[in-house]
Amino acid sequence: MRVLMIGAGGVGDAAAKIAAERAYYELWVVADYSRERAEATVAAATARRGDAPFVAAQVDASDEEAVAALAREHGATHVFNAVDPRFVMPIFQGALAAGADYLDMAMSLSTPHPEQPHELPGVKLGDRQLAMAGAWESAGRLALLGIGVEPGLSDVFARYAADELFDEIDELGTRDGANLVVRDEAGHEVFAPGFSMWTIIEECLNPPVVWEKRRAAGEVEAGFATMPPFAEPEIFDFPEGIGPVECVHVEHEEVLLMPRWVDAQRVTFKYGLGEQMISMLKMLHELGLDSTEPVDVKGVAVSPRDVVAAVLPDPGTIGPRMTGKTCAGLLVTGTKDGRPRAVYLYHVADNEVSMRDYDAQAVVWQTALNPVIALELLSTGVWSGSGAKGPEAFDAKPFLELLAAPAPYGYGSPWGFEERDPQAPNRSTAPSA
């Protein structure tokens, strides 16, 4: 396996450090618009393992032909997209043109319905990629879509729940929450998102999507509907000491992927944004600062959203000032042996541990871990196929075994499992940490 990873930001840097401890690949190329940043990631990876076959390169991720040329130059068998979703399509198409397989952690962007954005979907997340599934299948290549943590590990949990834990599933509900805090040099709590503010604005201000089987009537595409941002708030009790967090509907890829490969009555995604983040996002929208359309500022065309993202700290740099844990998980309700059942499958990342072991803050490390595991399964043929598929299209058990097993066989990062009260699944029945 020869991997071309595009993006040396926080997630790409963490992925390279994790991959440096594995030996399943022949070459790992780290490419970024900034060659200097790519070289820094290569240096960090090789410092962990001196003989790790990492090399740096420069590439413009918005240029499909440049991506294809770089993949051909290095004989890449797999193109791993580690940049934000604005660049999905040129990297996706560049990988196909080069005859390589492809992985990403976020899918092609959506466009709200022009007349009824809070009732009907327009162009959905991933639509442009899924429309090309036939081209990937004809080429005998695999595009593995959404294999970060959310989407990604949450989708693996969905497959596992369907295969091992339930006879019938009522709802697959991704629930994400954290108690992460970032402080300045004086110890005061400051606003500093754990991942790209550009992406947070995109996800949280677009109309969230839900899927319902009753609406689908046998046609997956007919089952999708939208609602206003921040709809249906609920208090969800997260494990391992995080505790209760208010979660709201957010547009996310799981809802667009899970119904295609897992049988459920309903699929949702809710995120623990918190009052401060919700208020800030609403204000950005009211001021027009969420727009991606350039405006003229003293003769210079600038995107308001790019400005907002630029003035906030780089998520890859805030780890030393962050404390707490982040939890990604899937709440599954349904029946087993004729009885109601509710289970929360989850993975918790502790910032203290990820900083100590990988010099990476918890959110980016937790995201980066999963594509590295997926690449290992692809390298051994445990996962294989062609077309454009989500993680739930593959056997979940080998992935979860590798995730949890101690090194050197596995990645030494156990995932969790909680039985919950089917009558009140939002509340944990486990003792608090």
Give me the helices (H) in 20-126, please: 35-48, 64-73, 88-98
Contact criterion met (CB below 8 Å) for 60 and 66: yes
Domain locations along the chain: 2-103, 153-362+411-420
Placement of tokens 């919950």 in the chain:
420
Cβ neighbors of 368 (< 8 A, separation 6 or more) are 11, 12, 14, 15, 18, 82, 148, 360
Helix (H) or strand (E) holding 15: helix 10-19
Task: Please give the pLDDT value at position 311.
Answer: 86
Given pLDDT bands bounded at 50, 70 and 90, which one contains residue 275? confident
Same fold, 2-103 and 153-362+411-420: no
- pLDDT bin (cut points 50, 70, 90) of residue 277 is confident
Report which of 425, 405, 408, 387 is spatially closest to residue 144, judged by C-alpha positions.
387
Give the three-class secondary structure for 334: strand
The residue behind tokens 């949450």 is 154
Angle at CA of residue 213, ends 207 and 218, nearest 5°:
115
> Domain 2-103 has what CATH class?
alpha beta
pLDDT in tens, 101-140: 999 999 999 999 999 999 999 999 999 999 999 999 999 9
Confidence tier at 386 by pLDDT (50, 70, 90): very high
Q: Which residue is listed with tokens 């996310």? A: 252
Dihedral sign (CA 237, 243, 244, 245): negative
Question: Residue 422 has what DSSP assignment?
Answer: T
Q: How far is CA 413 from CA 23, 310, 353, 404, in A?
A: 18, 33, 11, 5
| Percentage of residues of the chain with pLDDT beyond 70 | 98
Residue with tokens 């009260």: 421
pLDDT for 273: 83
- The model's pLDDT over 213-261, given as tens digits with 9 standing for 90+, comes to 999 989 999 999 999 999 999 999 999 999 999 999 999 999 999 999 9
| Segment (H or E) for 332 | strand 325-336
Diameter over CA atoms, the chain: 68
Q: What is the pLDDT of residue 188?
A: 84
Q: Summarize pLDDT for 10-64 with one digit per residue, the tens.
A: 999 999 999 999 999 999 999 999 999 999 999 999 999 889 899 999 999 999 9
343 neighbors 355 (Cβ within 8 angstroms): no
CA distances 406 to 45, 77, 395, 396, Å, are 20, 28, 20, 18
Is 16 in contact with 43 (CB distance < 8 Å)? no
Contact by Cβ (8 Å): 67, 42: no
**Mean pLDDT of the region 272-280:** 84
Sign of CA dihedral 74, 78, 82, 88: positive
Pull the structure tokens for residue 407.
């090194």
Q: How many CA atoms lie within 13 A of 19 on its CB side?
A: 36
Which of 59, 63, 43 is closest to 5 using CA atoms?
A: 59
Residue found under tokens 């790992």: 28
Residue 433 pLDDT: 37
Check residue 432 and give its pLDDT: 39
Mean pLDDT in the chain? 94
Task: Please list the residues that pair with 175 across neighbouring strands.
Answer: 270, 329
Residue 315 pLDDT: 78
Angle, CA of 422, 350 and 258, to the nearest 5°: 45
Q: pLDDT tens-digit profile of 286-325?
A: 999 889 889 998 898 989 998 988 888 777 788 788 899 9
Strand pairing category for 325-336 and 168-178:
antiparallel
Q: What is the DSSP letter of 164?
A: I
- How, if at all, do strands 181-183 and 243-249 pair? unpaired
Yes or no: say if 315 and 364 are a contact pair by the CB < 8 Å rule.
Answer: yes
| Position 186 pLDDT exceeds 60 | yes
CA distances from 214 to 94, 253, 413 (A): 38, 20, 38
| Distance set, CA 82 to CA 3, 9, 31, 136 (Å) | 12, 8, 10, 20
Angle at 360 between CA 183 and CA 200, to 5 degrees: 70
Identify whether the C-beta of residue 158 lies closer than 8 Å to the C-beta of residue 330. yes
- Give yes or no for a contact between 105 and 152, defined as CB atoms under 8 angstroms apart: yes
Q: Name the pTM for this structure.
A: 0.93
The closest alpha carbon to 275, from 233, 304, 308, belongs to: 233
- In contact, 207 and 226? CB cutoff 8 Å: yes
pLDDT band at residue 429 using 50, 70 and 90 as cut-offs = low
Interval 412-429 mean pLDDT:
92
Using pLDDT thresholds of 50, 70 and 90, give the confidence band for residue 207.
very high
Please state which architecture CATH assigns to domain 153-362+411-420.
2-Layer Sandwich (3.30)
